[in-house]
Chain A
Amino acid sequence: MHAGARLLVVGLVAVSAAAAPALTQETPKQGGMFTYMIPADAPPSLDGHRETTYATVHTAAPFYSTLIRINPENPSSTTDFVCDLCTTMPQPSDDGKTYTFRIRNHVKFHDGSPLTAADVAASWNAIIHPPETTTSARESYYIMVDKVEAPDQSTVVFHLKFPTGAFLPALADPYAWIYKREILDKDPRWYEKNVMGSGPFKFAGYEIGQSIKGVRNPDYYHQGLPRLDGFTGIYADKQAVRVEAIRADRAAMEFRGLPPSARDQLVNELGDKLAVQESDWNCGNLVTPNHKKKPFDDVRVRRALLLAVDQWHGAPALAKIANVHTVGGIVFPGSPLAATKEELQQIAGFWPDIEKSRAEAKRLLKEAGVEGLSFELLNRNVDQPYKYVGTWLVDEWSKIGLHATQRVVPTGPWFEAMRSGNFDVVLEANCEGVVNPLMDTQKYLPRSVYTENYGMYDDQPEIDLYQRMLHEPDPAKQRALMREFEKRVVDSEAHEFPMLWWYRIIPYRSYVKGWKISPSHYLNQDLATVWLDK
């Protein structure tokens, strides 16, 4: 084994061993100031209901409460939801169409006023039915919700249009912060520029593009939390700055994820002063051919693109240099609704025999009369992992005689090209928070249903299949429908194809304890359980 690699293995084993007891056995210490990096320049606003970027969550989540959330002690689970502001997770009534939540007593906003069910209902109504003057980024997650009511001071009732397993995961959305009704009534956009919540930390200062600061909320309703006296989040867009900051202990960690090379560098330099947590990430790239552009209106050509790519061998090689790791279908690999490896290998693009797959791709191209086709792959000017995956795809396609060139553009022109249909094939991504396959796979629905689909196709049978799946209460039948949906989208119609799931790598100073990795950089960010062993 190469010396560097050996050192890395030793380092990782050491840090895993060091980290494990910290997460399970050690007695948490109170106090201390925690400094972490936020890998962005600054969020566009501080309003979680409005924004989609992690920069908003990493900035302001510690100031807010949510109704329910993914279990902070078990955030890697895709099904373990627990109460934050409610007292117990409810059982649905009315054939699964009504959920009644009891709200904790004596919860206070940071201004000292009491938080009641009316605040919870008002916040949820702002998310689900936003007033005309505002936008709600995740309105489409709540298509099943009819209305939200607060019949008394401590009860919130969600009435659904139809029962669905997508509801509870959607409700655990990490952006669904509870705001004060009085403020929302006066100015629905107040929270864009101001902070006032009921979370573990109180707002202490914000310097645009520089830092965000919070101090311990002594009135926090979870016993013994938060453990820190306060925190400072420092914005740094450049990865090198963040890595150097962790190395020099200017900051203890960052929460989005660093590439393998940065992890290896830090492990080599810091040894047992560093811990690493890693996880599959509920984000994945996908390849979308433009059905309106010839020859990609021909399913044979689209299937050939898919069949040319060897994901099984590509994944481990790419994982050494990029934030990708796992081969999977359209559902996050850790979810009960995800395809098993055997199921996946039945789908075009995932066949175990790549030679057979490429032979079929060549046959399809010949049949379609487009052998040696030249086309453009539109890609986003983001290193990790877009440019790595894009370059790899160009090489894979060359193996069946296709000549793809990459057009790498900044985010604005990338969106513009996709929305206007000015591309042949695009490499895009689907990045979600709470694992909620029924909502996450909306991305694959035609644009007439899901506005952020750029394949420029329509497919009514696919939409019907999705609706059946969404309304199906039986998990086994739902899973079978998901397989059918996946087969149609990826294989038989080859509308779009998933192209490796991302991998989240969090190296951090080993004195940071109490934080557990989840499959999303949006989750488990309120810092309440974090403590410092120094």
Chain B
Amino acid sequence: MYRYIIKRLLLVIPTLLGAAALVFLLMRLIPGDICVVRLGSGGGTFDERAVQACHAQLGLNHPIFLQFVDFVWGFFRGDFGISMWSGKPVLTEIAARFPVSLEIAIMAVVVANVIAIPLGTISALKQNSPIDFVIRVISIAGLATPSFWLGILFILAILDISQAAFGAPWMPPIDYVPIWQDPLRNLSMVIFPALTVGYRTSAVTMRMTRSAMLEVLREDYIRTARAKGLVEHIIINRHALKNALLPVVTLIGIEAAFLIGGLVVTEQVFNLNGIGRLFVQSVQNQDYTMTQALVMLVVAAFVLTNTVVDLLYAWLDPRIRYG
């Protein structure tokens, strides 16, 4: 088991290096120059001297290979450098945004699973019944509805309903307050994005839970359990659901990792100052150091969740052993 974990963790190194090389090269293939964007996008004037000075300041005048070595060396030392756009340390900028994204991601995963696993299970147990049809419609609607669009509808609905009910429109706060400072204000801000993202995620998980349950319910050991007179809820919860959760857990892991940096539009719709929004800004501004660090963060999140998911397999299915 421990050997397996160490092997998995060692495999992270080439994965991160590959990702680092890829993002480093891709960023430099995008036409444009952060110095020109920064000096000129507001309508100011600048000459070549200013652009050269800016390149020198940001280290962009060094050979590409040297820049790459600097980046990788910094990464392994935990130093992601300075944001080329804001001049602030990359880690400071990420640290300011990470709690928002993490909170939404955790809440969305909770919302998704609270909805998906019971409904997916019921849907499988009541296959082809009216309940099954309703649940399938809910899940397909979730798959077909982009979460940002749902977010916009949410906000408009809140505004209209509050106006009709209280005479004045209300919307969630737009400036983030950490949960430990003002829990109520924090929750009123994050609950709606968590619901919109959670619903979308739940749709995928619901479909997966249903199909996995249908498969497991037809297994011999379930028939055997019923034949020996085991109570139905024990069959479902202990024998069927636990085994059916294997692919579901994989999916939840992938979705959770995605949610850390993938809530780009949802964060904009709800004005959340999270990692997704920072991602878009840094790509738009051609902030190489920030984009590289964010990609590495997302890659690390994926690798970590995949490893955790792999380890969960052994707990969920006693037949799985890591040698």
Question: Which residues of A are in contact with B by a Cβ distance under 8 Å?
Answer: 41-42, 44-45, 51-54, 56, 132-133, 135, 137-140, 192-193, 207-211, 232, 234-238, 240-241, 244-245, 247-251, 269, 283, 410-417, 419, 429-432, 442, 450-452
Contact = CB atoms under 8 A, between A and B. Distances in A.
A41 B272 CA distance: 11
A207 B176 CA distance: 10
Interface of B: 30-34, 36-48, 50, 53-54, 85-88, 92-93, 96-97, 152, 155-156, 159, 162-163, 168-171, 173-176, 268-271, 273, 277-278, 281, 284-286
A429 B42 CA distance: 10
B269 A419 contact: no
B90 to A, nearest CB: 12
Contacts of B50: 135
Contacts of B277: 41, 209, 237
Contacts of B97: 208-209
12 contacts: A51-B44, A137-B45, A140-B45, A208-B86, A209-B281, A240-B269, A244-B156, A250-B174, A410-B32, A410-B284, A412-B284, A451-B47
Contacts of A414: 32
Given A41-B281, A240-B152, A241-B268, A135 B39 contact: yes
Given A207-B273, A210-B175, A415-B32, A137 B44 contact: yes
A293 B105 CA distance: 51
A238 B268 contact: yes
B259 to A, nearest CB: 19
A245 B174 contact: yes
A250 B173 contact: yes
Given A44-B85, A412-B286, A452-B46, A135 B96 contact: no
A412 B43 contact: no
A377 to B, nearest CB: 17
A239 B242 CA distance: 46
A244 B158 CA distance: 11
Nearest to B97: A209
A193 B93 CA distance: 13
A132 B34 CA distance: 19
Residue of A234, A412, A415 contacting most chain B CB atoms (<10 Å) = A412
Contacts of B168: 249
B193 to A, nearest CB: 12
A238 B151 CA distance: 13
A53 B45 contact: no
Nearest to A410: B284
Contacts of A410: 32, 284
A520 to B, nearest CB: 10
Contacts of A248: 159, 162, 169-171
A90 B50 CA distance: 33
A241 B156 CA distance: 11
A53 B32 CA distance: 18
Contacts of B271: 234, 236, 238, 241, 245
A415 B96 contact: no
Contact of A413 (B30, B93, B162, B176): B30
A209 B37 CA distance: 18
Contact of A452 (B31, B40, B156): B40
A41 B163 CA distance: 29
B96 A208 contact: yes
A208 B47 CA distance: 29
A120 to B, nearest CB: 22
B32 A247 contact: no
- Please name the 5 residue pairs, one residue from A and one from B, whose CB atoms are nearest each other, closest first: A412-B32, A52-B42, A52-B44, A137-B44, A53-B42
Contact of A45 (B34, B86, B278): B86
A44 to B, nearest CB: 5
Contacts of B268: 237-238, 241
B169 A451 contact: no
A244 B45 contact: no
Given A193-B87, A209-B97, A209-B277, A416 B33 contact: yes
Nearest to B168: A249
B174 A208 contact: no
B53 A234 contact: no
B45 A415 contact: no
B45 A430 contact: no
Contacts of A52: 39-44
Contacts of A452: 40, 45-46
Nearest to A193: B87
B288 to A, nearest CB: 12
Contacts of A193: 87-88
Contacts of A245: 171, 174, 271
B48 A209 contact: no
A231 to B, nearest CB: 13
B277 to A, nearest CB: 7
Residue of B38, B40, B174 contacting most chain A CB atoms (<10 Å) = B174
Given A132-B53, A244-B171, A416 B87 contact: no
Given A135-B50, A208-B88, A53 B30 contact: no
A241 B30 CA distance: 29
Contacts of B175: 210-211, 232, 234
Given A193-B88, A234-B175, A415-B36, 5 more contacts: A54-B42, A249-B169, A412-B286, A415-B41, A416-B32
A154 B59 CA distance: 42
Contact of A135 (B54, B270, B281): B54
A442 B45 contact: yes
A42 B281 CA distance: 9
Contacts of B93: 208
B269 A238 contact: yes
Nearest to A55: B42
B287 to A, nearest CB: 9
Given A241-B269, A432-B43, A451-B47, A413 B32 contact: yes
Residue of A54, A207, A209, A414 contacting most chain B CB atoms (<10 Å) = A209
Contacts of A44: 38, 85-87, 285
Nearest to A56: B42
Contact of A412 (B33, B169, B273): B33
Contacts of B170: 248
A451 B33 contact: no
Contacts of B155: 244
Contacts of B31: 412-413, 416-417
A417 to B, nearest CB: 7
Contacts of B171: 244-245, 247-248, 250
Contacts of A250: 171, 173-174
Given A45-B87, A251-B174, A209 B96 contact: yes
